[in-house]
Amino acid sequence: MIKVGLVGGTGYTGVELLRILVSHPEVEITAITSRSEVSKPVSSLFPSLRGHLDLVFSEPSLSNLTACDLIFFATPNGTAMKMVPELLDTGVKVIDLAADFRFKDQAEWSQWYGESHACPELLSEAVYGLPEINRELIRNAQIVANPGCYPTATILGFLPLVENNWIDCSQLIADTKSGASGAGRSAKISNLYCEVAENMQAYAVPGHRHLPEIKQALVTVSGLPVGLTFVPHLTPMIRGIHATLYANLLDSDKSLEEIQHCFEQRYLEEPFVDVLESGAHPQTRSVKGANFCRIAVHKPQDRNTVVVLSVIDNLVKGAAGQAIQNMNLMFGLSETTGLEFAPLLP
């Protein structure tokens, strides 16, 4: 059994990790930390876990965590980097669900996150945890940087086209929508029901923190400069990411059938990427609660623009589910272990 600890167990990502881990056949949860809820039963904060988990919240102390084989960090940006070096020194593996280890360039990290990095020497060691591009590196990693939710949907949508050099990478557009759970569980006026319901709005148009993360991944794959316009939106739903992606074909004669075949072949062996039939329109509710990315491709009016539709659950394939997918790889398990559950409907 893999002994697992969770640092930051009170947010939506934390409880989603616990929801999946309590049914994982190869995992024993040994520590769940929260400075604000110390000694309180986890099930008192999350009644959904009653009968599945009898642990109490504990302090995130090194002595408490080094007994684990793996630590998940479901903490705000800037938290994991202060603890990870000591954990790695004791042989504990780490998966960080925040952004502390996603960037290779410490100056870029500081630019977007507003503080100096606490352990820049580990940035080159951390593996970006998108299994569809880094599966073999993840297997041997000591520290994995779990991708963001917007980047997961966007990168998977562009990936086959970028890998095959079929599109102009200097003019990519990602028009993305997220449910309110993507903003976290903390109390903020902008997250109130009366603010979110019956409303949709764009935000961070001048520059969102996920923009450089997406660009870094696509540059790594293509070896070319990437120009990306990335516009996120908050939508009146709890879960889900819908990414509508636009790219210009370098060869306008590429048919929709060729593009469809390209996507089908690229993801043929991927257990959690589902390429829908030509002309389909994936819905966020088709992935609710499950670790899938569903993708459909279009070539409107048979012009040279490709439109890719990509949907995920931001808390599962966009966070907790993908983290467990990475854990399975790091410990030599089948990648799908503990993740083979169907989406929720309605």
Q: Which distant-in-sequence residues (6+ apart) come within 8 Å of 279 by Cβ?
A: 296, 298
Residue 149: active-site member: yes
- Is residue 176 within 8 A of residue 150, CB to CB? The reply is yes
Q: Which distant-in-sequence residues (6+ apart) come within 8 Å of 278 by Cβ?
A: 256, 257, 260, 296, 297
Task: Report the distance separating Cα 39 and Cα 50, nearest Å.
Answer: 16
Q: Is the dihedral of CA 134, 136, 141, 146 positive or negative?
A: positive
The residue from 68, 149, 169, 262 that is catalytic is 149
Task: List C-alpha distances in Å: 40 to 63, 217, 235.
Answer: 19, 40, 33
Q: Which two tokens stand for residue 58?
A: 């504990």
Closest CA to 54 of 33, 65, 40: 40
Known catalytic residues? Answer: 149
